[in-house]
Amino acid sequence: MGGFQLPLIALVLTVCSAVGNPETPAHEDGAPPSRIAVVGAGIGGSATAHFLRQHFGPEVQVDVFEKGEVGGRLATVTVNHNEYESGGSIIHSLNLHMQEFVKQLGLKYRRNVAGKTAVFNGEELILEETDWYLLDLFRLWWRYGISFIRLQMWVEEIMEKFMRIYKYQAHGYAFSSVEELLDSLGGSGFINMTRRPLSDSLLELGVSQRFIDEVIAPVMRVNYGQNVSIPAFVGAVSLAGAQNNLWAVEGGNKQVCSGLLKMANANLLKAQVTSISPLHSGELLQYQLNFTAASGVGSELYDIVVLATPLQASVGSGLQFQDFAPPFDELPGSYHGTVATIVHGYLNTSFFGFPDPRLFPFASVLTTETPSLFFNSVASVCPVNISAGFRRKQPQEAGVYKVFSPQSLDKSQLKTLFRSYYSAQVTEWQAYPQYGSSQGLPPVELHPNLYYLNGIEWAGSAMEMSSVAAKNIALLAYHRWNKQTDMVDQKDLMHRIKTEL
């Protein structure tokens, strides 16, 4: 991704840790929790383990259950001895939690190798990025008028408000629901944006239908595999990502997850959690987690549990809720299936109207909403490790490409998009929520000490959104445990923080 520059205001924030003094616990009997479980070791679960450790201190045992691979939707595939990102691949320069993780873990930023983007409508390229930023601006202006500037200002304003979360979290404030969190950042306007279609918000702003069809729709298709009917808030989050100051982690983004688990000194259990049930004995409430591992079945008790895996039936977490009164309703909605195919071969540039591949200057092609098109995007990708001498392969050479499509590509589709290929590796993701399949945002607090992280994805599905939710849940769990109600769901935080300083 990348190409449509939407420069954003850079905010400088000091991220400090104002809470998490484990010397002053205030639970019923004054005891801190002794055991906490996190289910899921994707970015959300790993970051939660890290923040729980930060706030609850070194004594508590943190167990992290993962049935698949650490990293979850951050994963790589190997082609020709090089690894390529097959899932979540880009990180925005204003993603402060992700940046902080990379810094603390001593990881390196992966160099961005420049490449141009074009938009294809099934017949021809309708938008082509050039080498010259001013010319691109001029062309956008020419084609879409004021739309481009309006959109840029809209995204900037939303990002600026969203960035307040880092200040609130640095001061230790937590929120009991995604609605409360959004309301504290952008008032009812933010909550409304999770409920109305992106296209409505943009049309109201005065963005032209043509701009929506030719620029916004292609960006939504590559980022979320969906159309401009997705909620405005999700759309804004992904438009903030449609710009040039993006980065990735050298060696693969999933290293952030394994690094955080290590730094948190968490016990990683390679096991599928099959059931969770509350156990009351007198005043004490604990949760029993039953699980299946390669070595057999097991059962453990925890004081606090964080579920960091989507609970919608279509994703198949395999987790049963037992003995909760009242029983949990299944979470409504489904996840959107997206197929990532990593192809090693020769791009068929004729398909895009360039019979001579040497004249094809683009590294990525996005697509408009066109029924006959069987893919959402195709892009030349760089390996997770980039050596000093690395350059992108030219279209006349065999290169590695990532194709996103709603369904697996069959042989004839691959033969249409590639003149010939050596290999095609397919990863099918339950990638992000199927927006529109559910109204409302899922709860964060499922039971007194049982929390759910992935509800945040319905407001916006991105690594940073999960990291923000992870910090929030660690703070929330800490304040709930210590009965610090004055740190949860506080109003007028901008004002309070100013007077606290």
Does position 115 bind ligand NAG by CB under 6 A?
no
Say how many C-beta atoms besides its own lie within 10 A of residue 71's C-beta. 22
Q: How far is CA 92 from the centre of its chain?
A: 11
DSSP letter, residue 410: -
Among positions 280-309, residues that touch ligand NAG (CB under 6 A) are 288, 290, 299
Q: Build a one-symbol-per-residue string for 320-359: x at contacts with ligand NAG by CB under 6 A, - elsewhere.
A: --x-------------------------x-xx--------
Chosen residue from 35, 393, 419, 496 binding ligand NAG by CB under 6 A: 419
Q: Is 408 in the site for ligand NAG (CB under 6 A)?
A: no
Residue 7 structure tokens: 């420069």
Binding piece for ligand NAG, criterion CB under 6 A, among 49-57, 124-132, 304-312, 411-419: 411-419
Distance in angstroms (rounded) separating the CA atoms of residues 339 and 320: 28
Q: Which is nearer to ligand NAG, 46 or 434 (CB)?
A: 434
Q: How far apart are CA 76 and CA 254, in angstroms?
A: 8
Question: Within 208-254, where are the H helices?
Answer: 209-211, 217-224, 232-240
SS3 44: helix
Decide: 461 and 224 in contact? Cβ < 8 Å: yes
Q: Residue 24 corresponds to which tokens in the numbers above? A: 């002053």
Q: Between residues 198 and 240, which has the closer beta carbon with respect to ligand NAG?
A: 198
Query: Segment contacting ligand NAG (CB under 6 A): 333-341, 414-422, 476-484, 488-496?
Result: 414-422
Question: Which residues, 6+ apart, have CB-to-CB distance to 114 below 8 Å?
Answer: none
| Least separation in angstroms between CB 363 and ligand NAG | 19
- 176-212: b (≥16 Cβ within 10 Å) or e: bbbbbbbbbbbeeebbebbeebbbebbeeeebbeebb
Q: Name the packing angle between helices 178-193 and 463-481 (round to 10°).
A: 140
User: Which tokens hold the place of 49?
Assistant: 């383990």
Of 17-25, 182-190, 304-312, 399-407: span binding ligand NAG (CB under 6 A): 182-190
**Residue 287 parent element (H or E):** strand 284-293
Closest CB to ligand NAG among residues 95, 253? 253
To ligand NAG, the closest distance from the beta carbon of 284 in angstroms equals 18
Q: Does 80 bind ligand NAG (CB under 6 A)?
A: no
Does residue 445 belong to the site contacting ligand NAG (CB under 6 A)? no
Q: Using CB under 6 A, which residues numbered 218 to 237 contact ligand NAG?
A: 227-229
Helix (H, G, I), strand (E, B) or coil at 280: strand
Q: 4 vs 346, which CB is nearer to ligand NAG?
A: 346
Please report how close the Cβ of residue 192 comes to ligand NAG at its closest, in angstroms. Answer: 4
What is the spatial distance between Cα 255 and Cα 260, in angstroms, rounded to a whole number? 8
In the block, residue with structure tokens 């259990």: 269
Residue among 289 and 474 whose Cβ is closer to ligand NAG: 289
Binding test (CB under 6 A) with ligand NAG, winner from 415, 422, 448, 485: 415
User: What's the token pair of residue 208?
Assistant: 């032209």
**Considering the rule CB under 6 A, would residue 275 count as an interface residue with ligand NAG?**
yes
Q: Which uninterrupted H or E stretch holds 415?
A: helix 411-417
Considering only residues 188, 267, 423, 439, which one is a binding residue for ligand NAG as defined by CB under 6 A?
A: 188
157 binds ligand NAG (CB under 6 A): no
| Number of other residues whose CB lies within 10 A of the CB of residue 122 | 12
d(CA 495, CA 340): 45
Please identify, among the stretches 70-78, 151-159, 392-400, 413-421, the one whose residues bind ligand NAG according to the rule CB under 6 A. Answer: 413-421
Please identify which residue in 34, 176, 177, 416 interacts with ligand NAG, judged by CB under 6 A: 416
How many residues touch ligand NAG (CB under 6 A)?
24
Catalogue the E-assigned strands of 318-417.
320-321, 335-347, 362-367, 377-380, 399-405
Is residue 161 close enough to count as binding ligand NAG by CB under 6 A?
no
Beta carbon of residue 471, minimum distance to ligand NAG (angstroms, whole number): 25
Q: Which of 34, 277, 292, 334 is close enough to bind ligand NAG by CB under 6 A?
A: 277
Mask 470-489, x = binds ligand NAG (CB under 6 A)? --------------------
> Which residues of the chain form contacts with ligand NAG (CB under 6 A)?
108, 187-189, 192, 227-229, 250-251, 275, 277, 288, 290, 299, 322, 348, 350-351, 385, 415-416, 419, 436
